[in-house]
Amino acid sequence: MKRGSISIVGAGPGDPELITVKALRRIQSADVILYDRLVNEELLGYAKSDVLRIYCGKAPGLHSMPQESTQQLMINYAAAGCHVVRLKGGDPFVFGRGGEEALEAAAAGIPYEVIPGITSAVGAAASAGIPLTHRGLAASFAIVTGSRCHDQDSPVRWDALAHSVDTLVIYMGVSKLGEICDQLLKHGKDPLTPIALIENGTTVRERTVTGTLGSIGKLAAAMRISNPAIIIIGEVVKVREELLSLEKTVRSQIG
């Protein structure tokens, strides 16, 4: 019997062209693809015609397939000799539970690999014209989850983040935007700190709203920004405004 294997693959942030060559090759050779909600389904079009496609997506609050069942399917198909691609939005090791899946594959003695993807912070920031680091403005950035505002066991250290990191990028945070801003303000962050929300970054449905820590709550509510979206906080958000204003000036000079 042919030996099965597992590829834990990052599909990139949304734009189907932002996938690596290696990831695309694994999609093309897969027998089974277990894919998540944030994966652009256009990518499945590259698979073999007889590939088995299994949706394992989770909408916030709704679990269509528990993580344990997904992992079990992944192991079972690989043990039966299939090349299984576990396709995940962004990068598998950034809030993607890819670590758990790698551990499961290793424990089952199944050959596996992890193929990185462009994580949504990096993809959306590039698309919105916000450099995560910028000479003179930011020399560090942190990627943080916004979904653990009330987690007693592993709370996010908003006090430390408010002062020790130049750019904060928050995943899974739009529904907690008010609490996140409150935490940062409480720990001394300036209410005038620039902030951007990027919804559906890198896709044709991308929308960006910018404001300040003090003003963004109302703006986001008025624009009904919802998931998937990332929050970027820091002086680097100003670079987007600068780019837009330069582009406007050049357009008016040409036209």
Tokens 């505002």 label which residue?
A: 149
Neighbours of 200 (CB within 10 A): 21
Catalytic positions:
36, 58, 172
- Per-position x/- string for 23-62, each x denoting binding to ligand SAH as judged by CB under 6 A, each - no binding: ---------------x------------------------
Report 116-145 residues binding ligand SAH (CB under 6 A).
119-120, 124
- Per-position x/- string for 212-231, each x denoting binding to ligand SAH as judged by CB under 6 A, each - no binding: ---------------xxxx-
| Least distance in angstroms from the C-beta of 2 to ligand SAH | 30
- On the question of a cis peptide bond just before residue 131, with omega within 30 degrees of 0, the verdict is no
Sign of CA dihedral 138, 127, 62, 112: negative
Near ligand SAH by CB under 6 A: residue from 6, 7, 9, 13: 13
Residue number closest to ligand SAH, CB atom: 90
95 binds ligand SAH per the rule CB under 6 A: yes
C-alpha angle 183/185/187, rounded to 5°?
Answer: 70
Please, how many CA atoms are within 13 Å of residue 160, restricted to the half-sphere of its CB? Answer: 6
β-bridge mates for residue 118, sequence order = none
- On the question of a cis peptide bond just before residue 155, with omega within 30 degrees of 0, the verdict is no
171 binds ligand SAH per the rule CB under 6 A: yes
Name the residues that contact ligand SAH, by CB under 6 A. 13-14, 38, 88-91, 94-96, 119-120, 124, 171-172, 198, 200-203, 227-230
